[in-house]
Amino acid sequence: MRYPFSEVEKKWQSYWEENKIYKTNLSKKENKLYCLVMFIYPSGAKLHCGHWYNYGPTDSWARYKKLKGFNVFEPIGYDAFGLPAENYAIKTGIHPYDSTMKNIEDIRVQLKNMGNMYDWDSELMTCVPEYYKWNQWLFIQLYKKGLAYRKNAPVNWCPSCQTVLANEQVLADGSCERCGTTVIHKNLTQWFFKITDYAEELLSGLDKINWPEKTKLMQRNWIGKSTGTEVKFKIEGHEEDITVFTTRPDTLFGVTYVVLAPEQPLVEKLTKPEYKEQVHAYLDSVKSLSEIDRTSTTKEKTGVPTGSYAINPVNGEKIPIWVADYVLATYGTGCVMAVPGHDERDFEFASKFNLPIRKVILAPGTKEEDPLNEAYTEVGKMINSGSFSGIQSDKGIDALSDFLEQEGKGKRKTNYRLRDWLISRQRYWGTPIPVIHCEKCGEVLVEEKDLPVELPYNVEFSTSGKSPLTTNKEFMNVTCPKCGGEAQRDPDTMDTFVDSSWYYFRYLDPHEHDRMFNKKLSDSWTPVDMYVGGAEHATMHLLYSRFIHKFLRDLGMAHSDEPFSNLIHQGTITNQGAKMSKSKGNVVNPDVFISKYGSDVFRLYLMFMGPYEAGGDWSDTGITGVDRFVQRSYDIFLRFENSVINNPAPDKFDVRSLSEEEKSVYRKINQTISKYDEEINNFRFNTAVASLMELINELSKNLEACRPALQSYVLERFACLLAPVAPHLGEECWHMIGKKGSVFEHANWYAVDPEALTVDRVTVAVQVNGKLRATIEVPAENDQESVKALAFSADAVKKHIDGKTVVKEIYVKNKIYNIVVK
RNA sequence: GCCGAAGUGGCGAAAUUGGUAGACGCGCUGGACUCAAAAUCCAGUCUGGUUCACCCCAGGUGCCGGUUCGAGUCCGGCCUUCGGUACCA
């Protein structure tokens, strides 16, 4: 009989929902396990295979933990604000609120068909005032602590569309994706969160969490701590100094020019009148270049002199000041001292513009008069460096730093590559910023009692250069909370990463009215025990949420230092080599597979495809394999359900009393539990499913020859192994053998009988010079001498050692016997 | 460019501390069952050579080199593909 997946899945889904099987008792914190997937971004109308790949296997892991006795909390929600809904509105005229709500409804239906054990009472979405009110509250707290501030920052500006573009909307050649016009950078006053205040702790905290090493490494590099020295260069004919940051003060005597980033405010002041035209033309030419292009080491260096000169603080030398786009305004001071002899980029630049290249570090084994054909960036003996000549350059770093500090010409400094978090968006579909601008009082916070600042429904999307919110006068025009005079709301909205940086707290009680979240619950349920989501979030979402978590801790609202104790990245499911996304039009809709094979088969297939953290290119060949597995499993239960119902299983069997077939089955079921346990626990679903396939192969062959009590022993265990990876089938099989209720209602995990796993004979590979020549069977208890005798007596081995001298023998117990001959 | 990964049969992959490369599955080939088909079951399936066949021999984990008794695994140098690069999330 065909396994009636459709009926079975519907039946159990209703049973789960009616009996609230997955409602987590949050007041009970013993054995708590908070299992979280990155919430859903409902920009497409439907979930695609990539979503399933994230949610299905993670749910199987959570179910496995539930069977093992954990009190599991597995919530789901929607990260509902963001750019795509707004672009969709511009294109179609459908309001973002309407399209988003419709999408969420459709997605909810799909999620219910997946049959995951979500606690639906905790469902949340970010685009409703009851949620985003707390983004505004958070903003206010950050502001009060001096961690929210405004400054100028560039945006992508399309001069033709008169609008701000996201990086994604700028094509590779720097043109606007809508009209093809070259996009330029334009400065706007924007809000920032001061994440850099937490840079040091964001770095050191990484040592305390169990995250993939690669993710921690990416965050370390992103934060980019470097210790060095700030050095002041006087400017000829100016009061002001140029301050540069360098990690190599030992090369100061080799500085032959100074470079300013094009955006550095000093550029305007230092450019001599006769150089203005050239410099302005240069600044215009770099306006449209991306940072990636500018810092590319393969791109030819460009730059212009300002006509001004700086004075090298260590030798008083007069050196030219240039402007070049390979220096970024966002790192350090936006000014660098150029040492062409010992920095690759400076070498290239100096070579091109005929600036002097001076050797001040001598590479070991070279002479002072040898020409420098490329920058030497390693340690060596300092030369041409005044009184510092002769010392090793790594010692020279400290020596020069000390000297500069004593002379008041420099100061040791720790720099971070990490930049403050720009949260302003000149868009509609996001959280309004709770600030009012008053001509008299300046920027004034909205009072907490007046929150939320509700996002108005009626705005115009296609406007010229202004945030859409400015088109709603009723929203914009307010009275100043301080002076009562006429004032205006801030027209921008917040980056959606603000929403996602604290949602895991909110799940615990998403309808809480008076607080951001319930502290009592969060103290017992956070940090999140297992967080599963894409590696593409390594440096942004996963860093922002760590920052906000630490900030909330400092407010006394959270008791832990880190939000996510354990982290796993599922791989990306690509289609035709590209990440699935609606904009690329390459999404694979899972619904067709669900209606053809059922949710369990689809989930099993995703798990079986390959290593969870690798992902892969989508292909449905092979789904029939797991479909067959499900059918064969069902068949086994159909065949033996009656003998199981009438024959209760003992806790264990005496191995010696079993027949050969029984022994084989008994061993296999115990081996499978042991292997499966280890694999699922570590998110290795593919090999866990493979172990079940091996089990079903064994059972098809030998279960019939087993006594009913052993059949019973095997099948109740098998049903529990099926339940996490194929929950509907697991429930059904559990029922077929006479069990009551849901298998997930109680801890249901069986201990392994260690007796069943012991073997008395093992196979040892015999190698000659590392090449396999024979295999021999030996007792598991053996010594080298007894194995040696057998190894040397094998014909294939004799053939390869005859007439040669044995020089070495290596025995790795119960694995390899290697004979080395000459 | 920079940061982080990955590359193994016809295909998805396995091999957890360096120890028998290819578990499990797809596909394919042959067979059984059937009037026939589907479904199911059984057997075979890394490549080349030799052989009726079993065996046996040689080669083989992106490329080049190294360490080791032994390398898919460790080291150095490349190539290709993917993720991120601060306004997609």
Q: Is the pLDDT of residue A613 over 80?
A: yes
Q: Is the pLDDT of residue A224 over 70?
A: yes
Alpha-carbon gap, residue A363 to A561, rounded angstroms: 46
Q: Is the pLDDT of residue A582 over 90?
A: no
Q: How far is the CA of A384 from the C1' of B79 (A)?
A: 42
Give A272's contacts (C-beta < 8 A, 6+ positions apart).
Answer: A306, A307, A308
Task: With cut-offs at 50, 70 and 90, classify the pLDDT of residue A370.
Answer: confident
C-beta of residue A418 within 8 angstroms of C-beta of residue A201: no
Residue among A185, A184, A219 nearest A203 (CA)? A219
* Structure-token match 């091996």, residue found: A694
- Mean pLDDT, chain A, integer: 93
The dihedral built from the CA positions of residue A762, A767, A770 and A773, taken in this order, carries a sign that is: negative
Give A783's contacts (C-beta < 8 A, 6+ positions apart).
Answer: none
Task: With cut-offs at 50, 70 and 90, classify the pLDDT of residue A695.
Answer: very high
Q: What is the pLDDT of residues A750-808, one digit of tens each?
A: 999 999 998 888 888 999 888 888 888 888 888 888 888 888 888 888 888 888 888 88
Q: Which of residues 440-459 of A touch strand B (CB under 7 A)?
A: none
Q: Which nucleotide is nearest to A155 (CA to C1')?
A: B87
Alpha-carbon gap, residue A14 to A376, rounded angstroms: 71
Q: Picking from A229-233, A245-249, A387-391, A573-577, which range would have the lowest pLDDT averaged per residue?
A: A573-577
Q: Which nucleotides of B are covered by protein (CB under 7 A)?
A: 1-6, 11-16, 19-21, 23-27, 39-42, 56-59, 69-71, 81-89
Q: What is the pLDDT of residues A647-663, one digit of tens each?
A: 889 999 999 999 989 99
Q: Which nucleotide is nearest to A40 (CA to C1')?
A: B89
Q: How far is the CA of A811 from the C1' of B74 (A)?
A: 21
C-beta of residue A242 within 8 angstroms of C-beta of residue A278: no
Q: How far is the CA of A595 from the C1' of B22 (A)?
A: 34
Going across the sheet that includes A486-489, the strands are: A442-445, A435-438, A486-489, A477-479
Q: Please enumerate, as own/partner, the contacts of A295-299 that have beta carbons within 8 Å and a separation of 24 or more.
A: A295/A326, A295/A328, A297/A344, A297/A345, A297/A348
Q: How far is the CA of A216 from the C1' of B17 (A)?
A: 23
For chain A, give the percent of residues with pLDDT over 90. Answer: 78
Strands A184-193 and A616-617: unpaired
Residue A342 exposed, middle or buried by CB count within 10 Å (0-12, 13-18, 19+) = buried
Q: What distances in angstroms separate CA A792 from CA A12, A76, A799, A817, one per listed residue?
A: 61, 63, 10, 10
Task: With cut-offs at 50, 70 and 90, classify the pLDDT of residue A200.
Answer: very high
Q: What is the pLDDT of residues A418-438, one digit of tens each?
A: 999 999 999 999 999 999 999
Q: Which residue is nearest to nucleotide B19 (CA to C1')?
A: A816
Q: What is the mean pLDDT of residues A140-161?
A: 94
Q: How far is the CA of A395 from the C1' of B67 (A)?
A: 34
Give A615's contacts (C-beta < 8 A, 6+ positions apart).
Answer: A53, A570, A571, A572, A573, A574
Residue among A124, A205, A107, A118 nearest A503 (CA)? A124
For chain A, give the percent of residues with pLDDT over 70. Answer: 99
Residue among A83, A519, A129 nearest A137 (CA)? A129
Q: How far is the CA of A821 from the C1' of B18 (A)?
A: 21
Does the C-beta of A82 come within 7 A of strand B?
Answer: yes
Answering whether pTM is above 0.80, one says: yes
Q: What is the pLDDT of residues A80-115, one digit of tens each?
A: 999 999 999 999 999 999 999 999 999 999 999 999
pLDDT at A737: 93
Q: Which of residues 203-242 of A touch strand B (CB under 7 A)?
A: 213-214, 217-218, 221-222, 224
Does the C-beta of A344 come within 7 A of strand B?
Answer: no
pLDDT at A584: 67
Q: What is the mean pLDDT of residues A159-165?
A: 90
Q: What distances in angstroms separate CA A65 from CA A61, A173, A408, A771, one per listed residue?
A: 6, 50, 62, 44
Strand partners, A702: none
pLDDT at A378: 86
Q: How far is the CA of A797 from the C1' of B13 (A)?
A: 33
Does the C-beta of A171 come within 7 A of strand B?
Answer: no
Q: How far is the CA of A218 from the C1' of B84 (A)?
A: 9
Strands A361-362 and A318-324: unpaired
Q: Is the pLDDT of residue A639 over 70?
A: yes
Count CB-CB contacts under 10 A for residue A233: 21
Q: What is the pLDDT of residues A339-362, one digit of tens each?
A: 999 998 999 999 999 999 999 999
Q: What is the mean pLDDT of residues A193-221?
A: 96
Alpha-carbon gap, residue A84 to A43, rounded angstroms: 6
∠A446-A449-A451 over CA atoms, to 5°?
Answer: 60
Does the C-beta of A810 come within 7 A of strand B?
Answer: yes
Q: Report the complex ipTM.
A: 0.94
Alpha-carbon gap, residue A615 to A573, rounded angstroms: 5
Backbone angles phi and psi of A615, in degrees to 5: 70, -145
* One-letter-per-residue 3-state SS of A164-231: EECHHHECCCCEECCCCCECEEEEEEEEEECHHHHHHHHHHHHHHCECCHHHHHHHHHHHCCEEEEEE
| DSSP H or E segment with residue A158 | strand A148-158
Q: How distant is the alpha carbon of residue A544 from its chain centre?
A: 11
Q: Is the pLDDT of residue A43 over 90?
A: no
Q: Which of residues 29-48 of A touch strand B (CB under 7 A)?
A: 41, 43
Q: Tell me which of A445 and A746 has the higher pLDDT.
A: A445
Q: Which two tokens stand for residue A136?
A: 């505004």
Q: What is the mean pLDDT of residues A262-281?
A: 94
pLDDT at A300: 87
Q: Which nucleotide is nearest to A812 (CA to C1')?
A: B19
Give A14's contacts (C-beta < 8 A, 6+ positions apart).
Answer: none
Does the C-beta of A674 come within 7 A of strand B?
Answer: no
C-beta of residue A503 within 8 angstroms of C-beta of residue A77: yes
Q: Collapse the DSSP code of A747 into the 3-class scheme (helix H, G, I; strand E, B; otherwise coil) and give the result.
A: coil
pLDDT at A463: 67
Q: How far is the CA of A626 from the C1' of B25 (A)?
A: 8
Task: With cut-offs at 50, 70 and 90, classify the pLDDT of residue A292.
Answer: confident
Does the C-beta of A377 come within 7 A of strand B?
Answer: no
Residue among A731, A750, A749 nearest A21 (CA)? A731
pLDDT at A802: 82
| DSSP H or E segment with residue A32 | strand A32-37
Does the C-beta of A291 come within 7 A of strand B?
Answer: yes
